[in-house]
Amino acid sequence: MKHLRTFKILENKAEFNFKIRELKQKWKETDSKIDEVKSKIRLEKDGDKQELLVLTLQKLAAKQEMLKIDMQINKLKRTML
Q: What is the pTM of this model?
A: 0.78
- Beta-carbon count within 10 A of 23 CB: 20
User: Which residues lie below 8 Å from residue 27, measured CB to CB, with a gap of 6+?
Assistant: 64, 67, 68, 71
- How many whole angstroms separate alpha carbon 14 and alpha carbon 33? 29
Taking a C-beta distance cutoff of 8 angstroms, is the pair 20, 71 a contact? yes
Share of the chain above pLDDT 90, in %: 73
Please state at what angle helix 47-80 crosses helix 13-43, rounded to 10 degrees: 170
Give me the chain's average pLDDT, please: 89
pLDDT value of residue 62 = 97
